[in-house]
Amino acid sequence: MPQGLSHITLITADLDRMQAILEAVLDARCVYDSGADQFSLSEERFFMIGDVWVATMLGESLPERSYNHIAFQITEEEFDVRQARIEALGLDLRPPRPRVTGEGRSLYFHTPDNHLIELHTGTLEQRLARYAKGAP
């Protein structure tokens, strides 16, 4: 049985641009940069976002956008600050999906490589408790 999430890898056409996004929006900390060395398929950088290891690798952008996404948990208090950071970078901030009260709020934005990232204020426990109450 898996013990948990190992890492997330995002392919990007521009490692510097992706690093700037991860650091500015998610307070990512770069812990490795392969530079000219190539141990994997291409140049790569590793980041820690909270306790999550995120790898970025040089490659072709995703051909199109979808709702497939990665969600990072944030607090309600930092919601507006994170939104301002996304807007300051000129990233494509999507309107939030319809939600029922009590499951948290979300910010969704696309990176230039068509990755969808969500910043969410709720937890799984909160969502399950709200859903257990039934439809509004």
pTM for the full predicted model = 0.88
Q: Where are the beta strands (DSSP E) in 2-135?
A: 8-12, 29-33, 44-49, 52-58, 69-73, 92-94, 106-110, 116-120
Structural domains in the chain, CATH included, are 8-132 (3.10.180.10)
pLDDT for res 90: 96
Q: What is the pLDDT along the chain (136 residues), one digit of tens a residue?
A: 888 889 999 999 999 999 999 999 999 999 999 988 888 889 999 999 999 999 999 999 999 999 999 999 999 999 999 999 999 999 999 988 777 677 788 999 999 999 999 999 988 888 888 888 777 6
- The answer for residues whose C-beta is within 8 angstroms of residue 108's C-beta and 6 or more apart is 69, 93, 94, 95, 96, 97, 116, 117, 118
Where are the alpha helices (H) located in the chain, listed in sequence order? 15-26, 79-88, 124-132
60 is catalytic: no
Q: Which of 23, 43, 44, 78 is catalytic?
A: 44
